[in-house]
Structure 1
Amino acid sequence: MSNPRIEPDVRYPTVAQIRDAEAATGLLAGGVLMSRAAHGVASAIIDDLRATGGVYGRRVGLVVGSGDNGGDALFAGGVLARRGVAVSAVLLAPDRAHRGGLAALRAAGGRVVAEFGELDVVVDGVVGIGGTGPLRPPAAAVFDAVGTRSPRARVVAVDLPSGVDADTGEVHEPAVRADLTVTFGVPRRAHVLAAPQCGRIVVVDIGLGHHAADGAVLGSLSDAQVGAAWPVPGPFDDKYRQGVVGIVAGSARYPGAALLCTGAAVAATSGMTRYAGPAAAAVVDHHPEVVVADEPERAGKVQAWVVGPGFGTDDAALIRLRTVLAADVPVLVDADGITLLAQHRELLAARTAPTLLTPHAGEFARLTGEPLGPDRVAAVAACAAEFGATVLLKGRATVIAAADHSQVLVNEAGSSWAATAGSGDALAGIIGALLATGLQPAVAAAMGARAHSVAAHIAAGSPGAPIGASSLVAAISDAIRTLRGQAGPASSVGGI
């Protein structure tokens, strides 16, 4: 059994924290940070051009706003022009364009134009992390024109795609959708919360220092961290010491939920999986290693429970939920279990053992009594505080808030291959098995979400094809091997 606290490998500061880190360098007034940022943007664009046919003679257009973001773009344009790139700029606010950046662009041979011709790359220098709301009509019109005239042009965002909120990741339409985003010092929250809008992220070192993200609440675990912490049999372990998880899922109407949840739990760890519910015959037929019972009180001893996937919302389901929540072990509540819990909050009042709630957006709204707002990090943290439970909000960017307010973790799946019926049942099974090994709920949730994402990638293959949840479950073992391989040779020894 293990119970490590794992510090996030990457932290995502707020805009205010980034501003403080920039000010702490003492390099703002002299333009040193802007110069470093601009050279970083130019270098990233040069690398991108090289990958698609070379640099000299290529056509880059700058869409320039009035702030420092526009200054970064203009100075970067000057660097590109000196490398033989044909650089043109549309100034959205000519009277307020960055004077030094504009002079540098013109001195290098760049041009200011009313509209672009054909482009290979268009650079979004409209607004940066201080921007709010959608693209204003003049800016939106410029990008629309580029899309019509140069549909294959690559879109490069400076710091953040304009129209995307830096702290919440909310995408205000119309907004820029980038192929590449070049940011500075440390990644921003929106880079993980709105990853599809940002494309590939390049982080340029501009001298903010190693502690620029200190104090940031939001973080993510690396694949290497997840692989290194994954529970595997040690030299003195038996099936009980490795964790026994109980699954209460499925019904006559939804037997598949029981099979997917149980199958995922079996694949996630090598301890023991017990199943209790009306789908017992189907479960043992598909997974003969599972010990089955008709009701949770007859299932035997477990070290964690998973309750709710596909088990209905009738009186029998409520009785099973009460039984499971009365146990003094960690409990993961999912799907129908969350719907029932929203109606019977008193069931959590007497619990002292950890509880993990895993809603999707609709279930989250039922649980809290209000729609999920744009700030998912704040909403999940508030829900965790209200219920005294760890909360995992499902999504491409899955957000997890610890019950004790110590961590908010995020897993960016990297794709939407897992957006398929039954996928959430599999996620519950993976995380439940990890809970049974003694991992802290937030850590178990983040590790399970990462393995779930990797399994979906593996199941989809390359270049990718739609998958079902059964294919995802079948890929869980390969996903764990992939993650453990990222942790290096030490992860193959066994034990944690």
Structure 2
Amino acid sequence: MEQVRAAEAAAMARLPEGTLMQRAAHGLAAVCGRLLGRVYGSRVLVLAGSGDNGGDALYAGALLARRGARVRALLLSPERVHAGGLAALRAAGGRVTDDQREFAAADLVLDGIVGIGGRGGLRPEAAGFAGMARRGTVVAVDVPSGVVAGTGEVAGAALRADVTVCFGTYKPGLLVDPGASYAGVVHLVEIGIELPEAAVTALQEADVRRLLPVPDVESDKYRRGVVGIAAGSAKYPGAAVLSVAGALRGGAGLIRYVGSAAAEVVRRFPEVVVSDAGLAAAGRVQSWVVGPGGGDGVGEVLDQALGAGVPVLVDADGLTELARRGPVAGASLVLTPHTGEAARLLAGATGQAPPDAAGLAASRLATARRLAELYGATVLLKGSTTVVADPDGRCRVNPTGTPWLATAGSGDVLAGLLGSLLAAGLAPFDAASVAAYLHGLAGRHAAERGTPITAMDVATAVNHQGLGELRRPPRDGS
């Protein structure tokens, strides 16, 4: 958030006083007007905290009052209220109230309690609104109050919004759970600030289309990349089949499978080259996927993969083995933990007790970055919001997905898909980001009917809907 504040300060220094706030207020009022439909006669409540966030809300309330709305402002910090915003509201016919029943009666509530500088949950004077019944639409100003704008953490009471109107740029806390679940539909209002490249980004469809590996006229199956899959066991042969299913959709030209489930794999996918003689005998590959359903013997398999001199994706049982060892030097690693596995990995790297997995889920950006730093690896942290972190500090938040992806074997498909993208030549950070995007998009398509889906449904949808949608030329030609 320091970058945002610096960009706003630079813009304010070159623009007439109050320009940015007026731009924000006009954009905010325009969104509110569309949500209300009929502004004249509607009931609007402004929850105004101290500082500029409250000022944005008060000025927007004034604009709605000029259009005939009945606007009331409840001041959470009367002694520190934005004087200009309050004067504008009163001049437009708005009034100050101390009646909290206005919250339940309003057609629209503007949450201007706390802005991007907020830390921790709502203060006692505002916390009651978080659990209060209401019938109208709650619109958050820049970020829902109680959500940490830079991380998405929610440490206490927070006001859940139906719509969030953010200014200048998307704040990470609007994209990362738990904060994302409080934001509702997010609208971006441009206010004319110039920002450097963000440390936290999200791939869009055009980005993924540009990164996807595409064969050319000189391609053969080897030039397209060969991915090795070391997965499955007597107890979990399905993990091998599902990992291979994901890998077949990722763009590599050849899949080599090594493990005890060779018969099951080749029966389902006859195009896969299989072996049960170990990684060294499998032939040359451009990446290895190690760990899904690996069970006993995964340590030896991991050793062999790490010694192959190619990128290694470590998942599931492979992560458990890696946590026992701690960070390894000299390997190009991609780790794909859920928060429970992340806790074990952190313990393995620091020698301390495993942290609480729920706490790690509540601070997903920090967790992924810490793991990437400790292990010198690209980390794809799975969960309600998937976060990809690189050792250089970059992070990407995955914008696709559905709760239906919480099904057995879904992670195996993701591991194979990601390993195939690595073999096809994508850098680890890009491969992990694209794999998460495609996996989430496929999950959405597979779940379109609103019924439970299987991991194989997801793997099938990667090709039939996800990649098919992205391979079609965009309508605007971009």
| TM-score with structure 2 setting the length | 0.91
Pick aligned residue for 1:205 from 146, 170, 190: 190
Q: Which portions of structure 1, spanning 4 or more consecutive aligned residues, are displaced by more than 4 angstroms? A: 372-375, 486-491
Task: Tell me the percent identity.
Answer: 50
Structure with the greater relative contact order (CA < 8 A, sep ≥ 6): 1 or 2? Answer: 1
CA contact under 8 A between 2:211 and 2:430: conserved in structure 1? no
Q: In structure 2, do the counterparts of structure 1 residues 29 and 490 end up closer, same or farther at CA, with 3 Å as the change threshold?
A: closer
Pick aligned residue for 1:47 from 34, 40, 43: 34
**Any idea what SS the aligned residue of 2:227 has?**
strand
Once the two structures are TM-superposed, the CA of residue 277 in structure 1 deviates from its matched residue by 0.8
For 2:229 and 2:6, the matched residues in 1 are separated by 47
Summarize deviations over 1:80-124 as a string: whole Å, max 9, x none. Answer: 111122222222222322222122112222222212052221111
Q: In structure 2, do the counterparts of structure 1 residues 287 and 490 end up closer, same or farther at CA, with 3 Å as the change threshold?
A: farther
For residue 424 of structure 1, what is the amino acid of its counterpart? G
The question of 1:366 aligning with 2:350 is answered no
Q: Specify the alignment match of 1:93 in structure 2.
A: 77
Q: What are the equivalent positions in structure 2 for 1:108-187 lying under 5 Å apart?
A: 108-113=92-97, 114-115=99-100, 116=102, 118-145=105-132, 147=133, 150-151=134-135, 153-187=136-170
Pick aligned residue for 1:340 from 321, 344, 349: 321
Once the two structures are TM-superposed, the CA of residue 484 in structure 1 deviates from its matched residue by 2.9
Pick aligned residue for 1:383 from 357, 368, 371: 371
Once the two structures are TM-superposed, the CA of residue 142 in structure 1 deviates from its matched residue by 3.2
**Any idea what SS the aligned residue of 2:283 has?**
coil
Once the two structures are TM-superposed, the CA of residue 408 in structure 1 deviates from its matched residue by 2.4
For residue 281 of structure 1, what is the amino acid of its counterpart? A
Gaps of 5+ in 2: 348-353
**Any idea what SS the aligned residue of 2:228 has?**
strand
Once the two structures are TM-superposed, the CA of residue 215 in structure 1 deviates from its matched residue by 4.6
Q: Specify the alignment match of 2:230 in structure 1.
A: 248
Q: Specify the alignment match of 1:456 in structure 2.
A: 443
Once the two structures are TM-superposed, the CA of residue 344 in structure 1 deviates from its matched residue by 2.2
For 2:417 and 2:260, the matched residues in 1 are separated by 21
Which is worse superposed, 415-424 or 25-34? 25-34
**Any idea what SS the aligned residue of 1:392 has?**
strand
Once the two structures are TM-superposed, the CA of residue 143 in structure 1 deviates from its matched residue by 4.4
Q: In structure 2, do the counterparts of structure 1 residues 229 and 487 end up closer, same or farther at CA, with 3 Å as the change threshold?
A: farther
For residue 468 of structure 2, what is the amino acid of its counterpart? R
Q: Specify the alignment match of 2:286 in structure 1.
A: 303
Q: In structure 2, do the counterparts of structure 1 residues 465 and 58 end up closer, same or farther at CA, with 3 Å as the change threshold?
A: farther
Gaps of 5+ in 1: 1-14, 492-496
For 1:27 and 1:414, the matched residues in 2 are separated by 41
Which is worse superposed, 300-309 or 417-426? 417-426
Once the two structures are TM-superposed, the CA of residue 319 in structure 1 deviates from its matched residue by 1.4
Once the two structures are TM-superposed, the CA of residue 28 in structure 1 deviates from its matched residue by 7.9
Q: In structure 2, do the counterparts of structure 1 residues 466 and 122 end up closer, same or farther at CA, with 3 Å as the change threshold?
A: farther
For residue 81 of structure 2, what is the amino acid of its counterpart? A
**Any idea what SS the aligned residue of 2:380 has?**
strand
Once the two structures are TM-superposed, the CA of residue 487 in structure 1 deviates from its matched residue by 5.3
Q: Specify the alignment match of 1:277 in structure 2.
A: 259
CA contact under 8 A between 1:22 and 1:28: conserved in structure 2? no
Once the two structures are TM-superposed, the CA of residue 187 in structure 1 deviates from its matched residue by 1.3
Q: In structure 2, do the counterparts of structure 1 residues 57 and 393 end up closer, same or farther at CA, with 3 Å as the change threshold?
A: same
CA contact under 8 A between 1:228 and 1:487: conserved in structure 2? no
For 1:189 and 1:125, the matched residues in 2 are separated by 19
The question of 1:268 aligning with 2:255 is answered no
Q: In structure 2, do the counterparts of structure 1 residues 167 and 90 end up closer, same or farther at CA, with 3 Å as the change threshold?
A: same
| TM-score with structure 1 setting the length | 0.88
**Any idea what SS the aligned residue of 1:417 has?**
helix
Summarize deviations over 1:392-442 as a string: whole Å, max 9, x none. Answer: 211233222224x16322213353332222211111111000000111000
Provide the alpha-carbon RMSD of the alignment. 2.1
For 2:129 and 2:289, the matched residues in 1 are separated by 52
For 1:489 and 1:292, the matched residues in 2 are separated by 44
Q: In structure 2, do the counterparts of structure 1 residues 368 and 459 end up closer, same or farther at CA, with 3 Å as the change threshold?
A: same
How many residue pairs get aligned? The number is 460
For 1:457 and 1:436, the matched residues in 2 are separated by 26
The question of 1:73 aligning with 2:57 is answered yes
For 2:454 and 2:168, the matched residues in 1 are separated by 39
Which is worse superposed, 438-447 or 22-31? 22-31
Q: Specify the alignment match of 1:224 in structure 2.
A: 206
For residue 78 of structure 1, what is the amino acid of its counterpart? A
For 2:250 and 2:110, the matched residues in 1 are separated by 44
Summarize deviations over 1:330-374 as a string: whole Å, max 9, x none. Answer: 11011110100111237x33x35x211111111111111142645
CA contact under 8 A between 1:232 and 1:270: conserved in structure 2? no
Summarize deviations over 1:427-460 as a string: whole Å, max 9, x none. Answer: 1111000000111000100011100110011001
CA contact under 8 A between 2:161 and 2:184: conserved in structure 1? yes
Q: Specify the alignment match of 2:45 in structure 1.
A: 61
Q: What are the equivalent positions in structure 2 for 1:366-445 lying under 5 Å apart?
A: 366-369=344-347, 370-371=354-355, 373=360, 374-403=362-391, 405=392, 407-413=394-400, 415-445=402-432
Which is worse superposed, 134-143 or 450-459? 134-143
CA contact under 8 A between 2:326 and 2:345: conserved in structure 1? no
For 1:475 and 1:97, the matched residues in 2 are separated by 53
For 2:20 and 2:309, the matched residues in 1 are separated by 54
Q: In structure 2, do the counterparts of structure 1 residues 487 and 308 end up closer, same or farther at CA, with 3 Å as the change threshold?
A: farther
For 1:187 and 1:274, the matched residues in 2 are separated by 42
Once the two structures are TM-superposed, the CA of residue 290 in structure 1 deviates from its matched residue by 1.3
For 1:200 and 1:165, the matched residues in 2 are separated by 17
For 1:309 and 1:180, the matched residues in 2 are separated by 39
For residue 185 of structure 1, what is the amino acid of its counterpart? G
CA contact under 8 A between 1:396 and 1:413: conserved in structure 2? no
Q: In structure 2, do the counterparts of structure 1 residues 110 and 406 end up closer, same or farther at CA, with 3 Å as the change threshold?
A: closer
Q: Specify the alignment match of 1:447 in structure 2.
A: 434
For residue 271 of structure 1, what is the amino acid of its counterpart? G
